[in-house]
Amino acid sequence: MARKLVIVESPSKAKTIEKILGRNYEVVASYGHVIDLPKTKIGIDVENNFEPQYKVIKGKGEVLKKLKEKAKKASNVYLASDQDREGEAIAWHIFNYIKQPDKTRRIEFNEITKTAVNNAIKNPRDINDNLVNAQQARRLLDRIVGYKISPLLWKIINRNASAGRVQSVALKLICDLEDEINAFVPQKYWEVSTLIEKDINLNLVKIADEKVNKIFDEKVIKKLKKDLKNESLTLEKIEIKKKSQKPPLVFKTSTLQQLASSYLGYGASKTMRIAQQLYEGLPINGENKGLITYMRTDSTRISVDAINMAKDYITQNYGEKYVGKYIVKNSKSNVQDAHEGIRPSDINLVPDEIKGYLTNDQYKLYKLIWDRFLVSQFAAMQYEQMQINAVNKEYLFRGTINKVIFDGYYKIFKDEDEIKTGDFPELKEGSVHPIEKLNIEEGITKPPTRFSEATLVKKLESEGIGRPSTYASIVETLKTREYVEIIEKRFFPTYLGYEVKDELVKNFKDIMNVKFTANMEKDLDKVEEGTVEWVQLLRDFYSSLEKDIVKFEKEIDEIKTRRVVADVMDSEGNPMVLKTGLYGKYLISETNEKEKISLKGIPVSPEEIRKGEIFVKEAVEKLQNNKKGIPTDYFDENGVKYVLKVGRFGEYLESENYEADEKRMSLPLELKQKYRKGSVIELDGVLQINEEMKRLFEIDRKIIEEAGVCEFCGKPYEIKTGRFGKFLACTGYPECKTIKNIKTGKVTRVTEKEEKTKTKKAASKKTVKKSTSKAKTSAAKTKKTATVKKKKTTKKS
């Protein structure tokens, strides 16, 4: 009897599902996308209703061939790719390729558990054309923007410049915030509070019926001090209200990425990669189990079964009174309600009990998801709030005291916005209390904080830009394109990033408009709902874009033909001219083409370019001096002075007499970040780093001293820096390969046997790679010979 075939994206997902379904089913993987637009051209017939010219992805031909063969032999075929638009598109491409329409159906599930998978098999459906069209429209929109605009940017910026329908708006948000920070002017302010008997703290909230938070006028403070000196406050009103605090909602994609970044230090891509592993299934007690529900979702809905599962767990472990009496509902119109929030598939798989089956990263993320789901299903925290209003003349002070009635979810979790609680004091309205202390705190307003990965994702979501499946890729693109620099986990736009943003804002106002991009996302949602036709959506977008492209092309032609001279002279004393090449802007001598100066990293004013004369002499001289090294005040114990240089791997220190002593050292990470932020002091052209270097060396010396000697050979340790930061390594290397974790003190020793195994595996991989390379070369030669023979035969004929 023919077996039933189930097609999924990944081998690990296939392995988990095959164990659930049993031997009557064969579960195979497509290894992700199998068909897509071509890489070398736009691949869209704009004139023919935006017909996409799909191609089999390189390397996937054999995969598709096998899927087609297996589909022919199977009694039924189930397409079980992920339940979002992208998963639907993968299923649609496979459906069209295997050509078995009568026996092929689509199935979907939110979690890879026995119940969910078997229910999906019992309830198959047809491919959802609206979902496919929504994904197809998004893909084509992104392709049009990238392939139509990027080549234009190459002509006036460099080959690294590119446009992206969503990434470019994200870049604009980062640049706009940076402009806000640079334009920020700090102001001095004062905050006022009083302390009366029984340690009751009251904040100033009104002066003469006007609300007060921060006071920016020093005259007001002087008057206040005079008015309230040796005075008392009358308790005008005391009110007690009953309140409650609900627990945080279960995770959706954006909040998972934000909390994983804040609590675990994971980037968006790393979070989604680990979440994918947890979703697809891992071996637990000899059985592959999917540990969490689908992780690309903007829903916080929880199924009734999951609520009951949590209810049983909470009742058993904490008591029935701690069970929440509410069901979370979606509040946003664009939420894909077929999805649930991200939760454990089985709450009885307690993180600490299965820790031994998970990697450290998997355990941490699973625990974060498991804890959040459990907390979300707890009862609210109940409390009473006493509000105290106290007056003196025109000044109104207010304070609140909270008293817990029922701890609810506070029993297991208190977040950063924890409500401060205590007992109520005995107070009466109308009573008079002397001011024991008048607190006047002076402060200075601070500029906005730059985006971290977490806050950028939060901003994108709040603005309606992108969707759960796109947040991680947006962040990664900004980093890989070098539009941003990450310093102390914050986004700093680079000069290239600004250059790209400025050109796009100037020439493509719609694409760089936050509201326009958000509305486009809503239109894609309408395509999914079936209320907007995808071809018409593309047609409307393209007609507007085409006008901007034509206008921009004309401007580029003018720029390319314009002669722009610089205030930098060539060797003959003639002004050099500005050109744009493959790697960006540069200066060139008009009489000697070999005489060039790169302007990489040097801002060039667009206004100056339009006028035909740029002023970059000072910046060029500084750049050329920096190549020789920036003088520092640092000298080592031998009195050798060092200069700072920038190489392929960042900033480093080099001896002033490097050719003789060959002394070099990497700049400590803390100093690197300070230098990049521009917060290292420079006096008379000399970077002041000596004091900081000595301090950091002293910290390292103490770490080495506390570490003692190697537990195996008795030699001292030294500090090294690896992929994951600093660690202690035995100075007896290579004979002794012992390392020690600085934070935990855990010692790891690589034995001779392990080293041999490692070397053997590396050699094996190298051999396989070499063999593959030889095979490819051989195949290429055979193909070339066959082509030559064919040509000769044709010639003879």
**Which contacts of 22-29 are long-range, i.e. CB under 8 A and separated by 24 or more positions?**
26/70, 26/74, 28/66, 28/67, 28/70
> How many angstroms separate the Cα of 526 from the Cα of each of 114, 131, 313, 532?
33, 10, 40, 5
> How many angstroms separate the Cα of 128 from the Cα of each of 4, 91, 116, 614, 698?
22, 10, 20, 57, 64
| Residue whose structure tokens are 């001096």 | 625
Q: What distance in Å separates the CA atoms of residue 466 and residue 469, rounded to the nearest whole number?
A: 8
Q: Both tokens of residue 773?
A: 């390379």
Is residue 507 within 8 A of residue 559, CB to CB? The reply is: no
Q: What distance in Å separates the CA atoms of residue 302 and residue 311, rounded to the nearest whole number?
A: 12
Is residue 527 within 8 A of residue 133, CB to CB? The reply is: yes
| Residue whose structure tokens are 């000596």 | 690
Peptide bond into 606 cis (omega under 30): no
In degrees, to the nearest 5, what angle opens at C-alpha 296 toward C-alphas 357 and 176? Answer: 120
DSSP 8-state symbol, 344: B
C-beta neighbour count of 448 within 10 angstroms: 10
- Determine whether 294 is an active site residue: yes
Nearest to 99 by CA among 119, 141, 69, 54: 69
Q: Both tokens of residue 304?
A: 């009734």
Which amino acid appears at position 666 of this protein?
Answer: S
3-state SS assignment for residue 322 = helix
Q: Both tokens of residue 500?
A: 């790209």
Catalytic residue, candidates 97, 266, 279, 294: 294
Q: Both tokens of residue 293?
A: 């529900």
Task: State the alpha helices, DSSP H only, in 9-166.
Answer: 11-21, 61-73, 85-98, 114-122, 129-156
Q: What distance in Å separates the CA atoms of residue 583 and residue 158, rounded to the nearest whole number?
A: 5
Q: What distance in Å separates the CA atoms of residue 454 and residue 255, rounded to the nearest whole number?
A: 8
**DSSP one-letter string for 745-792:** --EEE--HHHHHHHHHHHHHHHHHHHHHHHHHHHHHHHHHHHHHHHHH
Is residue 365 within 8 A of residue 373, CB to CB? The reply is: no
- Supply φ then ψ for residue 675, to 5 degrees: -65, -45
> How many angstroms separate the Cα of 247 from the Cα of each of 118, 326, 339, 435, 679?
33, 11, 21, 38, 41
Can you give the three-state secondary structure of 539-551, one letter per residue?
HHHHHHHHHHHHH
C-beta neighbour count of 645 within 10 angstroms: 18
> How many angstroms separate the Cα of 443 from the Cα of each of 191, 192, 440, 586?
8, 11, 10, 46
Q: Determine the straight-line distance between the first and last CA of the chain, rounded to whole angstroms.
A: 55
Q: What distance in Å separates the CA atoms of residue 773 and residue 778, rounded to the nearest whole number?
A: 9
Q: What distance in Å separates the CA atoms of residue 750 and residue 309, rounded to the nearest whole number?
A: 45
In degrees, to the nearest 5, what angle opens at C-alpha 627 toward C-alphas 637 and 579? Answer: 170
Determine the distance from the C-alpha atom of residue 119 to the mean position of all C-alpha atoms in its chain, rounded to a whole number: 35
Q: What distance in Å separates the CA atoms of residue 754 and residue 597, rounded to the nearest whole number?
A: 51
Side-chain half-sphere of 651: how many Cα atoms within 13 Å?
19
| Residue whose structure tokens are 């599902």 | 17
DSSP 8-state symbol, 125: B
- Supply φ then ψ for residue 446, to 5 degrees: -110, 150
Q: Which residues are marked as active site? A: 294
